Amino acid sequence: MNTIRAGVIGVGYLGRFHAQKYAALDNVELVGVADTDQSRAAEVAAEVGTDAVADYRELLGKVDAVSIVVPTRFHHQVAAEFLRHGSHVLVEKPITTSLDEADDLIHLARRHDRRLQVGHLERFNAAVRELADMVGTPMFIESQRLAPFNPRGADVSVVLDLMIHDIDIILKLVDRPVVRIDANGAPVISSDIDIANARLQFDNGCVANVTASRVSLKAERKMRLFQRNSYIALDFQQRSLDIRSRVNSGRATPAMEDIHSEQRAFDDGDALRAEITHFVDCIRSGRDPLVTGADGRQALATAIEITRQLRDNPLPDQPQH
């Protein structure tokens, strides 16, 4: 395959950036963009030099690769049609709204031998990639993802809007089954959950404490990981790692000089460009993407259980949904 024909379905805030990245790649032809808002589609199409369509079905069978950047409730419908017509699919997170829908997309991708990648963008953060190479057997993980309120994501709970990023990363780092989840949270500004905390316990004893809020005064995205002989703090925004590790000196009780400190900072990269470039490379090589459909399903399953607990066990003075 020389030139890969690409399309973008949904060119709102994030979809526009998808279109820009495809248009800038060598050996990729952005065939068209689709959006129910025809004026928006035309605006983005003119910006990147492609065609605009109001109905995504006009691109079925005409593209080798497609990004699905529509509201989550439409992910399954749109992605399934493109998979059936032979397109490789990059679908934004969360993969779908239900596990049955996720299973169907995974089945369709396997049946048609297509790549199915899920847009968990933080996996392409350079600091996250470095952290993944440093992790052995985590014992405790703490993550905080805090953001000011933004109506753009308020159609779903903070779990599917923000927390799912950290759920996906933690599940991959620990790579063991979750055996227990305890969660609490509450709606604050929107009608859905705006702040939440979840405690994940894995079958090997590792515990992850995950907090997400979209009603904070400032943005903060950090993760701290503890494993035997080392502690690693990750700052997603600064793309940096702060590492404390014990040097093997032979002493039973370590002295201060046995603790090695190191800071690593990474250049400001373009995570979305890296994600889409990776998607295209996987199509060319036939290898599995970094974030597979199975990964997306696993993160969704955990998020669904957290959300169920939040809605079934609201904090005091909160109405039942």
3-state secondary structure the chain: CCCEEEEEECCCHHHHHHHHHHHHCCCEEEEEEECCCHHHHHHHHHHHCCEEECCHHHHCCCCCEEEECCCHHHHHHHHHHHHHCCCEEEEECCCCCCHHHHHHHHHHHHHCCCCEEEECHHHHCHHHHHHHHHCCCEEEEEEEEECCCCHHHCCCCHHHHHHHHHHHHHHHHHCCCEEEEEEEEECCCCCCCCEEEEEEEECCCCEEEEEEECCCCCCEEEEEEEECCEEEEEECCCCEEEEEEECCCCCCCCCHHHEEEEEEECCCCCHHHHHHHHHHHHHHHCCCCCCEHHHHHHHHHHHHHHHHHHHHCCCCCCCCC
- Is a pLDDT exceeding 80 seen at residue 315? no
Task: Note the pLDDT of residue 192.
Answer: 81
Task: Note the pLDDT of residue 249.
Answer: 62
Q: CATH 3.40.50.720 region(s) of the chain?
A: 4-114
- Residue range 116-170, pLDDT digits in tens: 999 999 999 999 999 999 999 999 999 999 998 877 666 678 999 899 999 999 9
- Residue range 228-241, pLDDT digits in tens: 989 999 999 999 99
Topology (CATH) of 4-114? Rossmann fold (3.40.50)
- Is a pLDDT exceeding 80 seen at residue 253? no
pLDDT (mean) for 72-79: 96
Class of domain 123-268+302-312: alpha beta
Full-model pTM: 0.91
Q: CATH 3.30.360.10 region(s) of the chain?
A: 123-268+302-312
